[in-house]
A and B are shown apart, each in its own frame.
Chain A
Amino acid sequence: MPRITVTVDGIKYEEDVEPRLLLVHLLRERLGKTGTPIGCDTSNCGACTVMLDGKSAKSCSVLAVQADGRDVVTIEGLGANGDLHPMQRAFHEEHALQCGYCTPGMVMAAIDLLRDDPDPSEETIRHGLEGNLCRCTGYCNIVRAVRRGAQEMGQAVNTP
Chain B
Amino acid sequence: MSVQEVGRPRRRKEDARLLTGRTRWTDNLTRPGLLHVMFLRSPMAHAAISRVDVSGARGLPGVVAAFSGQDFAAEQGSLPCAWPRAADTVIPEHPPMAVSGVRYVGEAVACVVATDRYRAADALEAIEIDYEPLPAVLDMERALAGDSPKVHETGNRAFDFTSTHGDVEAAFRDAPVVIDRTYVQQRLIPNAMEPRSVLCDTDGETYTMWSATQIPHILKVMLAMVTGVPEHTLRVIAPDVGGGFGSKLQVTPEEVLCLLLARKLGRPVKWTESRSEGNLTVHHGRDQIQRIRLAADADGRVRGLQVRLLADMGAYLALLTPAVPLLGAQMFNAIYKMDAYEFACTGVFTTKMPTDAYRGAGRPEATFGIERIMDELAAELRMDPLEVRRRNWIRQEEFPYTTISGLTYDSGNYEAATDRATALFGYDKLRAEQADRRDKGDPVQLGIGVSTYTEMCGLAPSRWFGSNNAGAGGWEHGSVRVLPTGKVEVITGSTPHGQGHVTAWSQIAADALGVPFEDVSVLYGDTAIAPKGLDTYGSRSLTIGGIAVLKACEKVRDKARRLAAHLLECSPDDIEFEAGAFRVRGTESQKTLQELALAAFTGHDLPEGVEARLDSDATFDPENFSFPHGTHLCAVEVDTETGMVRIRSYVAVDDVGKVVNPLIVDGQIHGGIAQGVAQALFEEAVYDADGNLLTTTMADYLLPSAADLPDFTLDRTESPATSNPLGVKGVGEAGTIASTPAVVNAIVDALRPYGVNDVRMPCTPERVWRALGAEGVRR
**Which of A's residues lie within 8 Å of B, judged by CB?**
18, 20-21, 28-29, 33-42, 44-45, 47, 74-76, 78-79, 84, 88, 91-93, 95, 97-104, 107, 122, 125-127, 129-143
Contacts and interface: CB of A to CB of B under 8 A. Distances in A.
A40 B712 CA distance: 27
Interface string B224-246: 00000000000000001111010
B706 interface: yes
A79 B671 CA distance: 28
Contacts of A135: 191-193, 243, 245, 671, 675, 703
Contacts of A34: 21, 23, 25, 27-28
B664 A91 contact: no
Interface stretch (B362-370, B497-505, B577-585): B497-505
Nearest to B674: A138
Contact of B698 (A18, A44, A103): A44
A35 B28 CA distance: 8
Contacts of B699: 42, 44
Given A39-B194, A133-B703, A140 B712 contact: yes
Given A98-B243, A98-B671, A45 B275 contact: yes
Contact of A136 (B12, B240, B243, B697): B243
B399 interface: no
Given A18-B118, A126-B707, A99 B663 contact: no
Contacts of B666: 95, 141
Given A35-B23, A45-B275, A95-B667, A130 B706 contact: yes
13 contacts: A40-B274, A42-B698, A79-B20, A92-B16, A92-B19, A97-B18, A98-B498, A99-B193, A100-B23, A107-B19, A126-B705, A135-B191, A135-B675
A19 B498 CA distance: 36
Contacts of A38: 27, 195
B117 to A, nearest CB: 8
Contacts of B191: 135
Given A75-B21, A95-B663, A99-B192, 11 more contacts: A34-B27, A37-B25, A38-B195, A45-B193, A74-B21, A99-B18, A101-B242, A101-B243, A103-B19, A136-B193, A138-B673
Given A44-B697, A130-B705, A132-B705, A99 B20 contact: no
A44 B675 CA distance: 18
Interface in B1-25: 11-12, 14-16, 18-23, 25
B170 interface: no
B396 interface: no
A95 B11 contact: yes
A156 B15 CA distance: 26
Nearest to B24: A34
B407 interface: no
B469 interface: no
Interface string B725-740: 0000000000100000
Contact of B499 (A76, A98, A122): A98
B241 A141 contact: no
Nearest to B9: A95
B546 to A, nearest CB: 17
Contacts of B27: 28, 34, 37-38
A126 to B, nearest CB: 4
